[in-house]
Structure 1
Amino acid sequence: MGFALGKLGNPPLSKASFSSRPVNLPLKQPAASENTSLCALLELHCPSVLSPFRPVWWLFNGHLQTLYAALGDFSVVDPVAYDRRLLQTKDGGTLGLDFTPPASDRVLPDETPIIVVLHGLSGGSHESYVRAILAPAVMPTHQGGLGYRAVVVNSRGCAGVPLTSPQLYSSCHTDDFRQAVLYISHRYPRAPLLGLGFSLGANVLTRYVAEEGEECRLVSACALACPWNLVTNSAALHGRLLNRNIYAKGMGRNLRRLVSRHVDSIMKFPDSRLAQSLPELFSRKSLTLAQFDNLITVHAGGTSPLFPFKDVHHYYTYAASHQVLGDVRIPFLAINSDDDPMVKHVPMYETDNEWVILVVTRGGGHMGWFGTTGNVTRRWMTQPALEWFRATVEKIDVPRRAVRNIRVVDGWLVESGREHLGCRDNGEGGRIEGRMIQKGMLAGL
């Protein structure tokens, strides 16, 4: 394997890895006869990706960046409103698809590019890190935005989505996202789709893109703060006193509270492993992320045959996304920080895939990246993501893929060869104000 490793800034503050075998992609008009590589595209059209991240002076390490992301008040920052559609899956589950801008606010052409978003561990469309990118992404071009559409895929039970089956979500269950992309692609067949994932959602996005390979319906993807090697990172997260007591227990507490909101629904399935695990879950005074996953996720985090896993180690080993990067076949940008207290392993030198660019910033924490623009504290990650999406959808022609045919069978939207999967529109879920606060939940994780 070969890499072009760039240490950028003076002193060097970021590093990026590119393949030694750059893929050449045709540029759109007026230079349609010319080709470019992803590396050249990044340098020319995504300058902020390769510019150093400079943290605001009072958030000078990863813990401060991460805790500010979790505890700061962002209720009046980057307001985003959504129209919710409830999507039912064949196994009885429900997803909440939040579309922005709402139809009552602005009507967009059907061919408008769509950013399809996967949130973090127990989050949703309300999270400040989601709104930090979507607010300018859907803003009209005459106001300085991209003028795109966006859809946040809220996982089962998250962000006010009802839990209608005894199954939750996990780092490796990609079928829910697959059904959401299928629905969006069917509803807007002329719109290019762009994938955006945060933290756990970045892991799911990476695995989805890799599993789809040449048949991927997305034009490009951006993964932010992906946890990658879940075995290594879980050991670091749970093996250090500060990380275990603040982050691992904080995420475990979030997940237990999420489950507690759906107890009545879960008890409609008394024979399920999820229902049978509730007494032990609520008997514990506190539990870490790994303890929750070992008790709940390994059994209820997805469908058979993958689930159930023997234990949390087998689940983390399978779910790790760094091992599937070689199968990605669309432009794929991943950004991590080198002081993320939850992610200690980033696969910078472990793949030579010409479709993948990995960037590690000096500083930024987990889903933080708070810097200063003028006198305003803003997330640095916003501009790189927006530049990447605009470059990959407006500047180059990503090869058209031979994707699976979509059909309606007995009222279910299905793909050829995947008839065991399927989804259908279950109606409106109302207008969602993105600034809502999930009480009792530690945000930003």
Structure 2
Amino acid sequence: MGALVSQVWAARSSRVPRLYFAVDPAKVSVKAPAVTGSDADEQPKESLDAFIAARCPSLYGDFSPPWWLFNGHLQTAYAVMGDFSKIDRVEYDRSLLRTLDGGTIGLDSTPPANERTLPDDTPIVVALHGLTGGSHESYVRAILAPACTPVEQGGLGYRGIVVNFRGCAGVPLTTPQMYSAGHTDDIRVAVMHIANRYPKARLLGIGFSLGANVLTRYLAEEGTQSRLAAGCVVACPWDCSKNAAGLEHQWLHRTVYGKAMAQNLRRLLGRHANEIAKFPEHPLAKTLPEVLSNKPMSLTQFDAIVTRVVGGSSPPFPFPSAWDYYVWASSHEVLPNIRVPFLALNAEDDPVVQVLPVEAGGNPYVVFAVTEKGGHLGWFETVQSTGEVRRWVSRPIVQWLRAVGEDLVVGDRQVGSLHVVDGFLKEVGRDDIGCKEVESGGHVVGVEGEAGLFAGL
């Protein structure tokens, strides 16, 4: 990879992830041992590669898929069709946020208040789901279950809050604006709300697939002003244009993955047909009959009709074409702007993600972990002690969350002040976005998914 990136762990076999750091990784402050005297106030520093080597041993060990899940297509298929209802059970309290434009975002928090009370400074994992997912998805629960299990039961004891995008996971659609891979204002106001509600807590971001792309762009846009102390992205799409081309120009990808994702999006809109009908003059209402017709549709065709028009606020929406939207929404070129420790996990055989930008523009805060196998949001392995099929990726991610949640020392950041204007929480100096909590969404059982949707896509 030339001078821009250093592959610091030469894999002994194809089962060991390859790790990519900048040639000169960032120095991060870590908690010092308890000392007294003149050095008591000094915080030691470690390079990011040493920080991870000491705290994330799973990234330096084997990932061995079962013999019957030996490639990315099978791993991805199992993520879609496997039964995960009896493992990683997570329950949530839901609250609904109303954005300044009238949209609604759903925040699902675990553990529920009636289960146990956590200290105000408990680290919070802020999670963003995939294309049409939500807090019920098995890949979300695979992380939040161990992260939010009490310490005395072997977990981290953290709080988890899933940001459910507009219209997803039972969240009402109160405007015809949807969400997309590039629109970051909804996560921005959600993080503002969480930071305002838990001012003593450290916030740690994790995103999956489309949510990973949104998180990457958010962290890049925020830079040193990020309210999230660290980020982790899982199966991030990165270059949306090349992914779309791969889905369009390869028969298997177009027939299986592209159509499945488009079908998920069409069904999602179908559930909100009555809500969309309240805006009869809006482009989304006018195109809804075409979207819901029985005519086969690829993901690019859906994005050309819907996402490029209603996938975010104006400007920059609408875009002239789906391809213009893909160029804008991609995250690979913004990687150099991230200024918090950032772990990216991808699989080489992911059928959805075509290119991995492991050089990350030479950003010293970024580390890439790349496995040869794993598919899209898969990474299934057999647990030898029990024979269960579980996600290997949960282990390094939970180790990372513990490291950045407990060992990392976060210095002063240039975070903007928050205030309430006409009932909406806003950042001082920015009046175009804001949010307020409008109501409780009740109790959510995490294994109750969205019937009719292909899980994991």
TM-score (norm 1): 0.98
**Which residue in 2 is equivalent to 1:216?**
226
Q: Tell whether the 8 Å contact from 1:100 to 1:151 is kept in structure 2 after alignment.
A: yes
- Structure 1 residue 11 corresponds to structure 2 residue 13: yes
Residue matched to 1:26: 29
Counterpart-to-counterpart distance in 2, 1:149 and 1:350: 30
Amino acid corresponding to residue 101 of structure 2 in structure 1: D
Aligned length: 445
In structure 1, C-alpha distance between the alignment counterparts of 2:423 and 2:314, rounded to whole Å: 24
Which residue of structure 2 aligns with residue 414 of structure 1?
426
Give the conservation status (yes or no) of the 8 Å contact 1:92–1:165. Answer: yes
Q: Cα offset for 1:286?
A: 1.7
Cα distance in 2 between the residues matched to 1:128 and 1:245: 24
Shift, 1:283, TM fit: 2.9
Superposition deviation, residue 234 in structure 1:
1.1
Give unpaired runs (5+ residues) of structure 2: 35-41
1:441 aligned residue: 453
8 Å CA contact 1:119–1:198 kept in 2: the answer is yes
1:425 is aligned to: 437
> Counterparts in 2 of 1:111-190, with a 5 A limit?
111-190=121-200
Distance in 1, Cα, partners of 2:155 & 2:255: 40
Displacement of 1:398 in angstroms is: 2.5
CA distance in 2, matches of 1:267, 1:309: 23
Partners of 1:9 and 1:435 in 2: CA distance: 36
Alignment of 1:198-237 (within 5 A): 198-237=208-247
* Alpha-carbon distance between aligned partners in 2 of 1:319 and 1:178, rounded to the nearest angstrom: 16
1:66-81 aligned within 5 A: 66-81=76-91
Alpha-carbon distance in 1 for matches of 2:449, 2:328: 33
Contact preservation (8 Å) 2:22, 2:359: no
Structure 1 stretches of at least 4 aligned residues deviating more than 6 Å after TM superposition: none
- The residue type equivalent to 1:187 in the other structure is R
Instruction: Tell whether 2:403 aligns with 1:391.
Output: yes
- Give the partner amino acid of 2:455: A
TM-score by length of 2: 0.96
Pick which of 367-376 and 105-114 moved more.
367-376
Return the match for 2:283 from 273, 276, 290: 273
CA gap 1:55/1:8 in 2 versus in 1, 3 angstroms: farther
Q: Residues 351-389 of structure 1: CA distance to partner in whole angstroms, max 9, x if unpaired?
A: 100111111101000000001222221101101111111
> What residue number does 2:38 align with?
none
Deviation at 1:340, TM superposition (A): 0.3
Match of 2:412 among 376, 400, 409: 400
> What's the CA shift string for 1:84-114, capped at 9, x where partnerless?
0000001000011000000000100111000
Q: Which aligned pairs between 1:180-329 and structure 2 lie closer than 5 A?
A: 180-329=190-339
**1:166, 1:421 → 2: CA distance?**
17
Asked whether 1:368 is paired with 2:371, we answer no
Shift of 1:25: 1.6
Shift of residue 443, structure 1, vs aligned partner: 0.4
* Conserved 8 A contact 1:86-1:426: yes
Q: Which residue of the other structure, out of 65, 70, 78, is the alignment partner of 1:55?
A: 65
Deviation of 1:425 (Å): 0.4
- Counterpart-to-counterpart distance in 2, 1:364 and 1:53: 9
Q: CA deviation at 1:350?
A: 4.5
1:10 CA drift (Å): 2.5
Moved more, 66-75 or 51-60: 51-60
Once the two structures are TM-superposed, the CA of residue 279 in structure 1 deviates from its matched residue by 2.0
Q: Deviations over 1:235-271 (max 9, x none)?
A: 1122111111111000000000000000110011111
Distance 1:427 1:350, change over 3 A: closer
Tell me, in whole angstroms, the C-alpha distance in 1 between the residues paired with 2:46 and 2:165: 37
Q: Is the 8 A contact 1:62 1:339 kept in 2?
A: yes
